């Protein structure tokens, strides 16, 4: 069984809003950045404030640069306005160097298991069907980019995938979507 993207935009918004309603800005931002950056959870949790914020100018950076743990490849990611707005909400409340700092005194970020719990609790509250995990956030971005017309080659590049086959599996294209594509084909 493989994790799936969150296909319904309304449910995705409800998942992010769930933590905001409870006053937990960090968890809200985790959901937003997980989708907006397409980073794997390990890379997301390692992000520091210096990666996203320039203290000299007092502004958030337009791009972040990350060396992916899994691939060792360096990736430059544009921070969209949704990501910046989320970071702006959290910045005044920051503790330590890490964006997703835990409650420990050592200032380290939360762990992967805690991140999984954050996603899982919100998903259960919103009643999202399917196998949803932290990796679903990354897949969700790809799915919605694909649905909005982003070229498969660009998606492959965004995810640092080695083949289009990997990207196709990643997007979670369902038989219903294949059927709709066939039924929507009107050329004559």
* Per-domain residue ranges of the chain: 9-176
- Residue 74: phi and psi, rounded to 5, are -90, 135
Annotated catalytic residue: which of 7, 26, 28, 161? 161
Task: Reduce the DSSP state of residue 64 to 3 states and report it.
Answer: strand
- Token code pair at residue 72: 């060792």
Sign of the dihedral defined by the CA atoms of residues 171, 174, 175, 180, in that order? negative
Active site residue 91: no
- What CA–CA distances, in Å, run from 9 to 81, 89, 100, 103? 17, 22, 24, 31
103 vs 57, higher pLDDT: 57
Active site residue 26: no
Rounded to an integer, what is the distance from CA 52 to the centroid of its chain? 15
pLDDT, residue 136, reads 95
Active site residue 138: yes
Sign of the dihedral defined by the CA atoms of residues 119, 2, 185, 165, in that order? positive
Whole-model pTM: value is 0.89
CA-CA distance, 139 to 29, in Å (whole number)?
17
CB 170 within 8 A of CB 139: yes
pLDDT, residue 37, reads 96
127 vs 93, higher pLDDT: 127
Element (H or E) spanning 77, and its range? strand 74-78
User: How does residue 1 score in pLDDT terms, banded at 50, 70 and 90?
Assistant: low
The predicted-structure confidence for 35-57, as pLDDT tens digits, reads as follows 999 999 999 999 999 999 999 99
CB 111 within 8 A of CB 71: no
Active site residue 40: yes
Active site residue 143: no
Residue reference for tokens 């160097």: 97
Percent of the chain, pLDDT > 90? 69
- What CA–CA distances, in Å, run from 185 to 148, 171, 172? 17, 21, 21
116-135: average pLDDT: 95
Of 115, 84, 78, nearest to 100 (Cα)? 115
Pick the CATH number of 9-176 from 3.40.190.10, 2.60.40.2300, 3.40.50.2300, 1.10.443.10: 1.10.443.10
Annotated catalytic residue: which of 70, 73, 105, 127? 70
pLDDT, residue 178, reads 72
Annotated catalytic residue: which of 40, 98, 139, 143? 40
CA-CA distance, 19 to 4, in Å (whole number)?
21
50-74: average pLDDT: 94
Of 134, 50, 148, 152, nearest to 99 (Cα)? 50
């Amino acid at each position: 069984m493989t994790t799936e993207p969150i296909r319904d935009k309304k449910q995705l918004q409800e998942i992010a809003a769930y933590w905001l309603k409870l006053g937990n800005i960090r968890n809200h931002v985790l959901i937003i950045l997980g989708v907006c950056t397409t980073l794997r959870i390990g890379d997301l949790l390692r992000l520091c404030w210096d990666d996203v914020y320039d203290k000299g100018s007092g502004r958030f950076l337009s791009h972040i640069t990350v060396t992916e743990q899994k691939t060792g490849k360096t990736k430059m990611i544009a921070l969209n306005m949704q990501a910046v707005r989320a970071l702006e909400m959290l910045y005044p409340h920051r503790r330590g160097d890490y964006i997703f700092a835990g409650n420990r005194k050592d200032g380290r970020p939360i762990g992967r298991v805690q991140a999984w719990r954050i996603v899982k609790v919100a998903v259960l509250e919103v009643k999202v069907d399917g196998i949803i995990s932290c990796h679903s956030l990354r897949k969700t971005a790809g799915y919605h980019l694909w649905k909005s017309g982003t070229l498969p080659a660009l998606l492959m590049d965004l995810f640092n995938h080695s083949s289009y086959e990997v990207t196709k599996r990643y997007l979670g294209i369902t038989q219903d979507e294949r059927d709709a594509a066939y039924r929507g084909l009107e050329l004559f």
